[in-house]
């Protein structure tokens, strides 16, 4: 990289650390030299390393560390030197040593033991026990102690770098209280690379570089004579958590938009439906297996709802005898009370008959609904307590099955990005003909997209008042959502994992 550009991209921490690295240094040394905090030095080293200006070695090594007393003695001298110096004038009674030397009792005891062992003092038993300096003691005061030499080193000191004699001294010092300690530590040491050396040669300017642009700099106009530190725009940064739409909900938004764009009007209906709108109005006979207690959810209160008697009458007659629809009907006795019973909406198609029976129905018209439905099922990877369905109908005079085919082709193209579809005979109590729609997904192969058909005359005539052709269809939007979002478990559509949601894609 261009050394000049690199130099201009140095952060102020880096600019302060780099010049100190003419020789390899540890973090601690750098902290001392630069006056930066340790965390700042560490970051500077990290950045410089990213720029390949330094190498940081992090070998675990045995290091000698100064402890509390060691630090004090390194600064103020060893107690044994003071002890000997005081004894140089005259022997002193042991009882008075603390007072005369200014050392504490503990230090005095250490000095007595240590200096006797080395033959630097003698203990005389006269009137009272006294300490007297020996000749070798006097001589030793003329030069530095081996301990003193060691304490003058820059700590921490790498144990491996010491001579055998020095190591012996370390061992001695370790026996004394709070002098030194030896630890295996990962010590970071930074050393310049060739790039680093070039950077340093080129000079690391400090004064004329702006790190953070502040209002103060702008107001004062200081920036005019300065340059801006270049940023490494490729260096990684952590994510921020901001507000996002839920991925599946965002997908449903797109589906809604698509239907509107295709000219469909959205319908809505209640979560708690009467059996009438949920099933009867769809010409599902009251003995139909999908109406078992095991397939729909019934509610405790209120058990039944109110219905428009005239519509009920027409639907009842279509069920029983076909009424005026040209049908034989299902040929059973239709129970009006049963029709009033409340269920949780078990299929999105429940909404269509409300629209067909409404005075606002437009012919020609295209309608869709996108709602939560509920089916009595065990909850597992493929079943949720509630699920979403998208469906609707197109009502138009002179419409035929061929138009339904065209509609389904369009859906396959819009929602599964494919022109290849397969229509298979299907069965729904409310449509004839009925089809199941499969689409060849570019990645997943043949997938079942949904079902469709032409609403039966027995359904349409009692609600609309006359027969008009109606193409009805429903799409398994939960499954489409899973394909779209790349999910395997349908429960992920309703995931409550915030981390998953934060990381999820919304397109």
Contact positions with another protein (CB under 8 A) in 428-487: 429, 432-436, 454, 456-458, 469
How many residues lie near another protein (CB under 8 A)?
Answer: 97
Between strands 189-192 and 470-475, the pairing is unpaired
Q: Contact 170/64 with Cβ under 8 angstroms?
A: yes
> Using the rule CB under 8 A, which residue among 95, 119, 406, 442 binds another protein?
406
Choose one: 5-13, 148-156, 164-172, 253-261; the region binding another protein (CB under 8 A). 253-261
Single out the residue of 393, 2, 420, 468 nearest to residue 195, CA to CA. 2
Site residues for another protein, 343-372, by CB under 8 A, read: 344, 362, 364-366, 372
Single out the residue of 372, 75, 426 nearest to residue 249, CA to CA. 372
Q: What minimum distance in Å lies between the beta carbon of 152 and another protein?
A: 49
Residue 413 near another protein by CB under 8 A: no
Cis, peptide link before residue 433, omega less than 30° from 0: yes
- How far apart (Å, rounded) are the C-alpha atoms in residues 100 and 114? 18
> Using the rule CB under 8 A, which residue among 43, 118, 376, 440 binds another protein?
376
Give me the 211-250 binding string for another protein, x by CB under 8 A, dash otherwise.
------------------------------xxxxxx-xx-
Encoded tokens for 49 = 């390393």
Residue 253 near another protein by CB under 8 A: yes
Q: What minimum distance in Å lies between the beta carbon of 336 and another protein?
A: 19
Site residues for another protein, 269-288, by CB under 8 A, read: 270-272, 287-288
Residue 402 near another protein by CB under 8 A: yes
Q: By C-beta, is 34 or 431 nearer to another protein?
A: 431
- How far apart (Å, rounded) are the C-alpha atoms in residues 368 and 273? 18
Residue 68 near another protein by CB under 8 A: no
Q: Contact 132/94 with Cβ under 8 angstroms?
A: no
Q: By C-beta, is 114 or 351 nearer to another protein?
A: 351
Encoded tokens for 261 = 């764009």
Site residues for another protein, 152-191, by CB under 8 A, read: none
- How far apart (Å, rounded) are the C-alpha atoms in residues 131 and 121? 7
Q: By C-beta, is 196 or 285 nearer to another protein?
A: 285
CA separation, residue 450 to residues 120, 229, 280, 430, 438 (Å) = 102, 59, 22, 15, 7
> Using the rule CB under 8 A, which residue among 263, 442, 465, 486 binds another protein?
263
Single out the residue of 89, 139, 137 nearest to residue 114, CA to CA. 137
> Using the rule CB under 8 A, which residue among 49, 335, 396, 414 binds another protein?
396
Between strands 265-267 and 189-192, the pairing is unpaired
> Using the rule CB under 8 A, which residue among 325, 347, 349, 352 binds another protein?
325
- How far apart (Å, rounded) are the C-alpha atoms in residues 299 and 283? 22
Site residues for another protein, 101-140, by CB under 8 A, read: none
- How far apart (Å, rounded) are the C-alpha atoms in residues 191 and 199? 13
Helix (H) or strand (E) holding 253: helix 247-261
Q: What minimum distance in Å lies between the beta carbon of 374 and another protein?
A: 7
Choose one: 4-12, 92-100, 153-161, 406-414; the region binding another protein (CB under 8 A). 406-414
> Using the rule CB under 8 A, which residue among 149, 262, 381, 444 binds another protein?
262
> Using the rule CB under 8 A, which residue among 123, 260, 381, 444 binds another protein?
260
Site residues for another protein, 7-26, by CB under 8 A, read: none
> Using the rule CB under 8 A, which residue among 7, 137, 323, 329 binds another protein?
329
Residue 97 near another protein by CB under 8 A: no
Single out the residue of 479, 421, 409 nearest to residue 262, CA to CA. 409
> Using the rule CB under 8 A, which residue among 22, 39, 149, 299 binds another protein?
299
- How far apart (Å, rounded) are the C-alpha atoms in residues 254 and 409? 19
Residue 497 near another protein by CB under 8 A: yes
Residue 268 burial (CB < 10 Å; 0-12/13-18/19+)? exposed
Cis, peptide link before residue 266, omega less than 30° from 0: no
> Using the rule CB under 8 A, which residue among 190, 282, 384, 490 binds another protein?
384
| Complete edge-to-edge strand list for the sheet that includes strand 25-26 | 25-26, 189-192, 54-57
Choose one: 13-21, 87-95, 97-105, 380-388; the region binding another protein (CB under 8 A). 380-388
Q: What minimum distance in Å lies between the beta carbon of 275 and another protein?
A: 13
470: left (phi over 0), alpha (psi -120 to 50) or beta: beta
Residue 307 near another protein by CB under 8 A: no
Cis, peptide link before residue 112, omega less than 30° from 0: no
> Using the rule CB under 8 A, which residue among 176, 181, 403, 441 binds another protein?
403
């Amino acid at each position: 990289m261009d050394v000049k550009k690199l130099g201009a991209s140095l952060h102020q921490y880096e600019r302060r650390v780099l010049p100190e690295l003419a020789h390899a240094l540890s973090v601690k040394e750098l902290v001392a030299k630069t006056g930066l905090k340790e965390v700042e030095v560490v970051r500077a080293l990290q950045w410089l390393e990213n720029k390949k200006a330094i190498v940081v070695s992090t070998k675990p090594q045995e290091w000698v560390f100064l402890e509390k007393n060691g630090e004090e003695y390194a600064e103020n001298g060893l107690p044994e030197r003071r002890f000997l110096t005081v004894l140089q004038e005259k022997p002193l009674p042991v009882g008075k040593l603390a007072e005369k030397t200014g050392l504490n009792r503990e230090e005095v005891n250490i000095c007595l033991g240590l200096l006797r062992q080395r033959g630097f003092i003698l203990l005389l038993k006269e009137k009272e026990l006294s300490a007297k300096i020996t000749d070798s003691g006097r001589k030793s005061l003329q030069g530095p102690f081996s301990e003193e030499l060691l304490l003058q080193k820059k700590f921490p000191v790498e144990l491996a770098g010491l001579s055998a004699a020095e190591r012996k001294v370390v061992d001695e010092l370790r026996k004394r209280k709070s002098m030194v300690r030896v630890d295996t530590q990962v010590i970071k040491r930074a050393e310049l690379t060739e790039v680093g050396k070039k950077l340093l040669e080129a000079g690391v300017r400090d004064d004329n570089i702006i790190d953070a642009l502040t209002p103060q700099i702008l107001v004062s106009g200081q920036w005019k004579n300065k340059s801006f530190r270049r940023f490494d725009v490729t260096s990684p940064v952590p994510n921020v958590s901001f507000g996002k739409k839920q991925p599946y909900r965002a997908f449903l938004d797109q589906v809604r938009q698509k239907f509107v764009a295709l000219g469909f009007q959205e319908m809505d209906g209640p979560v708690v439906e009467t059996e009438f709108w949920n099933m009867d109005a769809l010409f599902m006979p009251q003995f139909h297996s999908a109406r078992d207690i095991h397939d729909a959810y019934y509610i405790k209160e209120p058990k039944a709802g109110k219905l428009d008697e005239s519509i009920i009458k027409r639907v009842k007659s279509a069920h029983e005898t076909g009424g005026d629809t040209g049908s034989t009907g299902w040929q059973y006795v239709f129970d009006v009370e049963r029709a009033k019973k409340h269920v949780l909406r078990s299929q999105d198609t429940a909404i269509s008959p409300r629209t067909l029976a409404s005075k606002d129905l437009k012919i020609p018209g295209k309608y869709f609904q996108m709602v939560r439905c509920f089916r009595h099922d065990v909850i597992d990877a493929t079943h949720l307590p509630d699920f979403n369905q998208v469906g609707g109908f197109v009502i138009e005079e002179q419409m035929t099955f061929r138009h339904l085919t065209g509609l389904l082709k369009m859906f396959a193209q819009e929602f599964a990005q494919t022109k290849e579809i397969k229509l298979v005979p299907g069965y729904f109590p409310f449509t004839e003909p009925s089809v199941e729609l499969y689409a060849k997904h570019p990645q997943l192969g043949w997938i079942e997209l949904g079902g469709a058909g032409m609403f039966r005359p027995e359904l349409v005539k009692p609600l609309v008042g006359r027969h008009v052709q109606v193409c009805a269809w429903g799409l398994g939007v939960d499954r489409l959502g899973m394909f779209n979002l790349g999910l395997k478990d349908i429960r992920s559509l309703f995931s409550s994992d915030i981390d998953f949601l934060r990381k999820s894609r919304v397109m």
